[in-house]
Amino acid sequence: MPRKLLALITSVWLIAAAAFLARVTFFWDQQRKIPHNILATVPFEQEVGNIASAIAQGQGFSNVFRQPTGPTAWLAPIYPTLLAAIFRIFGTFTYSSFFAAVILNCIFSAAATVPLFFAARRIGGIAVAALSAWLWALYPNAVMLPFEWIWDTSLSAFLAAAILWATLELTESTKPLDWIAYGILWGVALLTNPALGIFLPFLLLWLAVRRISSGTRVSIKFPLLTLAVTFLCCVPWTIRNYTQFHRLIPIRGNFPFELWLGNNDIFDEHAVGGIQRITRFGEARLYAQLGETAFMDRKRGLAWNFINTHRSLELQLIKRRMTATWLGTESPWRDFRSTDSALIRIIFIGNAIVALGTLSGLVLLFLRRNPYAIPLALIPLLFPVVYYITHTSLRYRHPMDPTLLLLTAVAFASLFGARKI
């Protein structure tokens, strides 16, 4: 292959531009098919849109169900605040705001190409880096989600990729400012999507062990510095939550509700007198009656009672959620055969390839004793755990998709005999 062409197709900036173009093209195609008055309202009819609306109207971080119910700790603050800024500039619940929010999501998603590329280059060379980035640029889930969900999903994917890259780079850093910046990055990530925090202690532990094994002085000092900076980033919002709700709520407090959504009598076909369906109206009314803390306490009690009294069923539900997390639905083969949509079938095939590629890539890294195999394994092993016990969808797992595609690229590169350059 000519060098100029090789340099072109392995250019991270070209791939990032292609990623942005793919996402914007999908958005442009979809928005032509949907009335703009629908796009101006329906995508915002969820917790992020409701809280952003309250912020834009000067009511603060509140009104999670678009009712005057007061302050909330339902979500982490960063993405609703970004959306509130869009509302203030382009109007609340307008097509212009929807347009701006989708473009912002497209930017975040395309930007993930850059840290993914450099992390992959460190792990497997330029061939793996370029392949990882191109897979991310054209991956159907990543192309669709910036339009499909006005949520922190695309931003979380970018932050997860940035954390992976920064973690790998820090193995050789002895500069305190690098570790402080790493702590700030973690602080931003947690204030965007606290679910990312599940692998924070493990990545810091891995960094500490790496430094000890390499004989680096002050091995523990820098990881502890990162941890301290991360903690300081999260303290102001946690204090805000304590002031409002008089209990410790680190960043976000909706876990009991999410746990109950995936663990209730609807899943027990033999339940007598249990709930038959869950409606937004019903939950909003109960929330308004009880207030947020009592509402969460009730959901926590109901969820744990269901789990403790349905042990066998709970294991089945976990198995179904694991399947849905990795393959898209609880019955992927049946759903693949029953759908008439070519796009849906492509998504199913892509999910299966990525699941197999992730496993194969990890096996190859460990067999080759790649020094970065452990952090690559931690992300797919740990991140989905919370969704195995609550409820899941492809958008929930999306923050780890860049890592999964990197591992898939490792598998493909090995299959086709690509050498590390």
Angle of helix 200-213 relative to helix 221-245, nearest 10 degrees? 160
- Phi then psi for residue 65, to 5 deg, are -110, 25
Q: Residue 83 burial (CB < 10 Å; 0-12/13-18/19+)?
A: buried
The pLDDT assigned to 276 comes to: 72
The Cα 329–Cα 357 span in angstroms is 18
Residue 95 identity: Y
Taking only the tens place, the pLDDT of each residue in 185-233 is: 999 999 999 999 999 999 999 999 888 776 665 578 899 999 999 999 9
Taking only the tens place, the pLDDT of each residue in 370-418 is: 999 999 999 999 999 999 999 999 999 999 999 999 999 999 998 876 5
Classify residue 276 by its DSSP letter: -
Contact 128, 409 (CB under 8 A): yes
The Cα 168–Cα 120 span in angstroms is 10
Taking only the tens place, the pLDDT of each residue in 131-183 is: 999 999 999 999 999 999 999 999 999 999 999 999 999 988 889 999 999 99
The reported pTM is 0.95
The Cα 132–Cα 136 span in angstroms is 6
State yes or no: pLDDT of 4 exceeds 90. no
| DSSP run (H or E) holding 81 | helix 78-90
The Cα 401–Cα 385 span in angstroms is 15
Nearest alpha-carbon partner for 283 in 298, 266, 267: 298
State yes or no: pLDDT of 295 exceeds 80. yes
